[in-house]
Amino acid sequence: MKRIIDYYLAEWKNSEFRKPLLLRGARQVGKTHAVRELAKLFDNFVEINFEADAEVKDIFDRDLDPVRISRALSLITGKSIEPGKTLLFFDEIQGVPKALTALRYFYEKLPTQHIIAAGSLLDFTTQSVGIPVGRVSSLYMYPVSFFEFLCECGHTLLAQEILSHSIEASMSEPVHRKLLAILAEYLAIGGMPEAVALWQIKRDPLLCLQVHDSLISTYRQDFGKYAKSFQLKYVEALFNAIPRQLGTKFKYNAIDGDYRKRELAPCLDLLTTAGIIHPILRSAGNGIPLGAEVDPGDFKTIFLDVALSQAILGLDLKTWFLHPDQDFVNKGALIESFVGQELLAYAHPAKKENLFYWRRNASGSEAEVDYIIQANRQVVPVEVKSGLGSTLKSMHMFLDSHQQSTHGIRFSTHNYSEHANIQSYPLYAIAHVILGNQMAEKKAYEALVEP
């Protein structure tokens, strides 16, 4: 499976300013596969999985000299490790904190050695051990985006059209309907690579649902790796309840009447660190950076993947194939969650992206904008409308009260259009909106659709 991250990994490989790389993201988003694809560009590839290869842990106990470590790993694996020719990959590195610290010395003493580290629970180790400042770089991965889904399922021409299509003209109606139908497929299958790959081969939603259930079980099995025993019931309760709170302000008292905020809040942080959920922070939106005016006690959440949310809720995925128009209308919170998932996916992978929204609580004139984003040094309000008939009252209230914001964006099942200071895009065109003015990032997507 070709991913956008492949472009950035190749850039890292060829950079003269390269540092040891941390590939970060939740379990099963495709980190290991991406590294193995990159390895095809090297003469040699040495992969060390610290969960599977327990004996290699002792190598890091003596000292952290990269030359000695490389020699020892070469002898154990029977593979040559030559700087400039070999890609060295430390997988599940969170199990050996000294290996994470060793990356600093690879940078200082063996800078020509290509080395990548990854781990499904890596961010917990980086919190406790720390990352060698200035000596390690990071790239972040998320589930397969809708743009990548199009390419993987053989719709590269449609993907190219999304990148190039201008808001000044409507999409051909048959093409518009086809893209919405494929989007409905994506909303059912989701972006977890295993499910996407299976869908591309078998086209059987029931098989994909089995993958979803298996992934959910895997995430649950991980709880004990980062939560204390007394926290497990709180983590489980949050995991099950968060999909029910999509699209609304997060309320601890809606999780379980017997659990209190002081018990749940640390566990919510654990799920965030694991990459299973992403908070949408309330920002005043008066300027950039958006994080400068955040209310830490007021936030929404989205789940890692829109299809996993539905699997936890026990929703019937087949309706996306039988009645997609009806589902677009009835599942507004899931559509809003999908947009958040896309906003994260299209951010530059070198930066950990945050999501923001805006709400005004003034009595008699309450208003809420689903997302606010930064584009061209401006704050841009983003509304998500799942049905055809909808108003944009909150959007206009935001624009009226934030004079520095010149326009707003609506995502819906409508075709492309522009009226005054509101730009309307179809839900399938989020990649175009986010990448439209970022030529460096856009090149990565153009490379994905090249023959």
Instruction: Give the integer Cα–Cα distance in Å for 386 and 407.
Output: 20
Instruction: Give the integer Cα–Cα distance in Å for 98 and 93.
Output: 9
Contacts (Cβ under 8 Å, ≥6 apart) of 397: 360, 365, 367
Instruction: Output DSSP code: residue 341.
Output: H
Q: Estimate to the nearest angstrom the gap between the alpha carbon of 299 and the chain centroid.
A: 18
Instruction: Give the integer Cα–Cα distance in Å for 37 and 300.
Output: 36
Instruction: Output DSSP code: residue 243.
Output: G
Residue 93 pLDDT: 96
How is 24-59 classified by DSSP, letter by letter? E-STTSSHHHHHHHHHTTSSEEEEEETTT-GGGGGH
Instruction: Give the integer Cα–Cα distance in Å for 215 and 276.
Output: 11
Taking alpha carbons only, the member of 281, 300, 301, 277 closest to residue 292 is: 281
Helix H or strand E encompassing 310: helix 306-313
- Side by side, the strands of the sheet bearing 371-375 are 371-375, 378-384, 408-412, 422-426, 417-419
**Would you say how long the chain is, in residues?**
451
Taking alpha carbons only, the member of 384, 380, 395 closest to residue 437 is: 380
Residue 389 pLDDT: 58
Q: Under CATH, what is the fold of the domain 5-140?
A: Rossmann fold (3.40.50)
3-state DSSP percent of the chain in helix, strand and coil, to 5: 50, 15, 35
**For 92-105, b where at least 16 C-beta lie within 10 A, e where not — what string?**
bbbbbeebbebbbb
CB atoms within 10 A of CB 378: 14
Instruction: Output DSSP code: residue 81.
Output: -
Residue 1 pLDDT: 92
Instruction: Give the integer Cα–Cα distance in Å for 262 and 246.
Output: 22
Structure tokens at 284: 């005043």
Supply the pTM of this predicted model: 0.95
Instruction: Output DSSP code: residue 219.
Output: H
Within 13 Å of residue 153, how many CA atoms lie on the same side as its CB?
26
Instruction: Give the integer Cα–Cα distance in Å for 130 and 159.
Output: 39
Instruction: Give the integer Cα–Cα distance in Å for 61 and 57.
Output: 7
Q: Where are the domains of the chain?
A: 5-140, 146-448
Structure tokens at 272: 């965030």
Residue 446 pLDDT: 86
Give me the phi and psi of 88, to 5 degrees please.
Answer: -105, 125
Residue 390 pLDDT: 65
Extract the residue ranges of the chain whose pLDDT is less than 50. Answer: none
Q: For 237-241, which contacts have Cβ atoms below 8 Å and span 24 or more sequence positions?
A: 237/264, 238/264, 238/267, 238/268, 238/271, 239/271, 239/276, 239/312, 240/312
Residue 439 pLDDT: 58
Task: List 373's β-bridge partners, or say none.
Answer: 380
pLDDT in tens, 409-451: 999 999 999 998 999 999 999 999 998 756 567 788 888 888 7
Residue 86 pLDDT: 99
Task: List 300's β-bridge partners, or say none.
Answer: 280
- Side by side, the strands of the sheet bearing 367-369 are 294-303, 277-283, 355-360, 367-369
